[in-house]
Amino acid sequence: MSIETLAYDLRLPYTRHNHRQFIEEAKQKGLEIEEVIEELLQNEINLRAETGVTKRIQRARFTNKKYLVDFEYKHYKSEIKEKLKELTDLSFIERKENIILIGNPGTGKTHYSIALGIEACTSGKTVLFSSVPNLVTEMKEAYSLSQITLFKRRFEKYDLVILDELGYVSFDKDGSEMLFNLLSNRNDKGSIIITTNLAFERWEETFKDPVLTGAIIDRLAYKSHVIDMRGESYRIKKTQDWLKVENNEK
Q: Per residue in 127-171, pLDDT tens?
A: 999 999 999 999 999 999 999 999 999 999 999 999 999 988 888
Asked if 240 contacts 214 with a C-beta cutoff of 8 angstroms, the reply is no
For residue 71, the number of C-alpha atoms closer than 13 Å in the C-beta half-sphere is 22
Confidence at residue 233, expressed as pLDDT on a 0 to 100 scale: 61
| Higher pLDDT pick, 55 / 28 | 55
Average pLDDT over residues 223-232: 87
Confidence at residue 42, expressed as pLDDT on a 0 to 100 scale: 84
Q: What pTM did the predictor assign?
A: 0.81
Taking CA 58 as the corner, what is the angle to CA 103 and CA 95, rounded to the nearest 5 degrees? 55
- Phi-psi region at 43: left, alpha or beta (left = phi > 0; alpha = psi -120 to 50): alpha
User: How far is it, in rounded angstroms, from Cα 41 to Cα 19?
Assistant: 11
3-state secondary structure of 211: helix
3-state secondary structure of 220: helix
Confidence at residue 9, expressed as pLDDT on a 0 to 100 scale: 74
The secondary structure of 137-186, three-state, reads HHHHHHHHCCCHHHHHHHHHHCCEEEEEEECCCCCCHHHHHHHHHHHHHH
Q: Which amino acid belongs to residue 237? A: K
Share the mean pLDDT of the chain: 87
Helix H or strand E segment including 72: none
Candidates 241, 242, 236, 227; CA nearest to 76 is 227
